[in-house]
Structure 1
Amino acid sequence: MTQTTAVLIHGAFTDGASWATVVNRLQGAAVNVLVPANPLRGLNDDGESITRIVRQIAAPVLLVGHGYGGAVITHTGSQAGNVRGLVFVASHGLERGQSVADSLAAFPASFLAAVLEAVPGEAGGETQLLIQPARFGEVFAADLPRQRQDVLAVSQRPVVAAAFTEPLAVEPAWTSLPSWSLITTEDRMIDPDIQRAAARRLGATSAEVAASHAVLLSQPETVTVFILKALAALS
């Protein structure tokens, strides 16, 4: 039987390097891993970009999405054809016609809305967003050392504002694929109750960990073990 490939999708304000320690552990467990760049240009464009990459993999795929990356795998998982399961890490699962902003609306306002700032994009391009560097640590990565928070704060990748407001345009992958959800109970980006509600809606196998949104960096072993359990269930 062909081994399942774990495709790890990063979220907003970061890049594939956020998965580095998890990748190291997965490769140590002899797992095939791919970490493509998430363009952060809009939900459906990002979903299609990742879909094109996933379709080229000659093996079954487990999609793993962190934060906004979870919304992206919700799109890709129903379009690529070779996806067998979904893992949501500190994330939310969208319904068709729902945006990331919609998924947040029914819950108390997160810290995120108050700390975003617009930054110049390409000439004539869409508004791009970053987290105010001085607030990045407390909102995104409160359980990391201050020095590491400061590095992340000044190396953010901007995300277009439409990524949060654009509705999911396809049938969500979780309606036909098994899902797993790792819920971060100290998260100030995506409220833990939003994550819990999403896990229930998806019928996901879930677990909770006392971590910030930066759980990939603060508790990589926990994330790795969770992904390995999903891979084992698929095999």
Structure 2
Amino acid sequence: MSLRNSLFGTVAAATLLLSGQAFSADKPTIVLVHGAFAESDSWNGVIKDLQADGYSVIAAANPLRGVNSDAKAVSALLTSVKGPVVLVGHSYGGSVISDAATGHDNVKGLVFVAAFAPEAGESAVALSGKFPGSTLAPTLAPPVALPDGGHDLYIDQAKFPQQFAADVPKEEAKLMAATQRPIAEAALGEPAGKPAWKTIPSWFVYGDADKNIPPAALEWMAKRAGSKETVVVKGGSHVVMVSHPETVARLIEKAASAD
């Protein structure tokens, strides 16, 4: 064993002892993938519940550059995880996990949290426009030009709380607005690859007051994917993992314990 690995193992063990947490080796690892205009810490409430129940959790950093390249980044992470995995995606992250899971036999379940579950060739833009109700476009800030000729998209910070996180306390939503991660404009129009939800069991949870992806579109995608269980949060915004972490964590645990 290398010195680096030895030190890492010692530090990790000490951290677990100090925190009082002990993760069960027989439980799947939960890999969480955030979506556009969010970041990894949007999963903090969910992670707290999952860790308390003995799950090992990884909140992946989604590059938000394009479905194919983002899926490759998550796929590389999955390769490093030993044992079974439940892969969870929020919003645009649903497109990413559906692509990334393909070819990984250790992924036993997919959980879509207010997320896209595209068929091959479908894009986030097309799916969000399939049913009326999305009010995202008018709330976007002026695009940020990138050196490669593309553009990054942000939600206007003043409009973010009402558009993205209406059921989150205002002060917390304002912090989320300031720390939002931009998505490349091209990523939202990029066609999805082969969908893993056709071969891997899936679960869905979303809010009936989602303003980014119409609830009708989320319901339609859940039914198309043959969702094992679909949870609809009354009054829930687009970030139900922030406003209702316990509900999201319970559904993830159901996916993790399914045969």
TM-score for the superposition, normalised by structure 2 = 0.86
Structure 1: distance between partners of 2:106 and 2:146 = 35
- What residue in structure 2 maps to residue 216 of structure 1? 241
1:183 aligns with 2:206: yes
Paired amino acid for 1:76: A
- The equivalences for 1:141-220 within 5 A come to 141-169=165-193, 171-204=194-227, 205-210=229-234, 211-220=236-245
Q: Which amino acid aligns with 2:52?
A: G
Work out the CA distance in 1 between the residues paired with 2:215 and 2:253. Answer: 23
CA contact (8 A) 1:179 1:203 kept: yes
Query: Partner of 1:19 in structure 2?
Result: 43
Shift of 1:125: 4.5
SS of match in other structure, 1:96: coil
Q: Which amino acid aligns with 2:254?
A: K
Residue type of the alignment partner of 2:169: P
Quote the residue 1:79 is aligned against: 103
Q: Find the residue that maps to 2:211 and give its secondary structure.
A: coil
Secondary structure, counterpart of 1:26 in structure 2: helix
Q: 1:39, 1:81 → 2: CA distance?
A: 24
SS of the counterpart of 1:21?
A: helix
* Count of matched residue pairs: 233
The runs of 5 or more residues in structure 2 that have no matched partner are 1-24
Q: What is the CA deviation profile of residues 191-222 of structure 1, one whole-angstrom value per residue up to 9, with x for unaligned ones?
A: 11111000000000211112111211111111
Distance 1:143 1:109 in 2: 17
Bigger Rg, which one? 2
The unaligned stretches of length 5 or more in structure 1 are none
- Asked whether the equivalents of residues 206 and 240 of structure 2 are also in contact (C-alpha less than 8 Å), the reply is no
Tell me by how many angstroms 1:124 deviates. 2.7
Which 10-residue stretch deviates more, 59-68 or 79-88?
Answer: 79-88
Distance of 1:106 and 1:121 partners within structure 2:
28
Q: Percent identity?
A: 39
